[in-house]
Amino acid sequence: MQIEILDGIVIGAAGGASAGFLVKLMGWISRIYRECRDKSKVLNWLDKNTDETDGPRFRSSRAIASWNDLTEDRAKYICSIHSKIYLSTGKQADMWSPFQSARKK
């Protein structure tokens, strides 16, 4: 009787732990997928809507968010973690570009 109860506790604990691990793993995979998708979407949009020589070189977080169906905070976060998107160091804050400034090259 006691062995059956102990077996049930061990099996329940192992099942609960594995289920908890799988839930955490799926959440992590989902977060990584959404970040990669949003990073790609924002970089592609910036490549099409900025120009290093003739047109606007930087775009605001608000414009990025609006055109890519993201919140403004999400657009700022995605731009800040992307290795190919750069923050403006000029007079206007909160502007992003796929082009590095001439000083950084």
List pLDDT tens digits, range 4-40.
888 889 999 999 999 999 999 999 999 999 999 999 9
Q: Is residue 102 part of a domain?
A: no
What domain count does the chain have? Answer: 1
In a domain, 104, yes or no: no
- What pTM, to 2 d.p., does this model score? 0.79
> Is residue 67, in this structure, part of any structural domain at all?
yes
In a domain, 82, yes or no: yes
Please report whether residue 57 resides in a domain.
yes
Quote the tokens at residue 21: 């691990």
CATH number where 77 lies: 1.10.10
Structural domain contains residue 70: yes
What pLDDT score does 101 carry? 63
So what's the pLDDT on residue 105? Answer: 43
Which residue range forms the structural domain that includes residue 20?
2-97
pLDDT at 71 over 70: yes
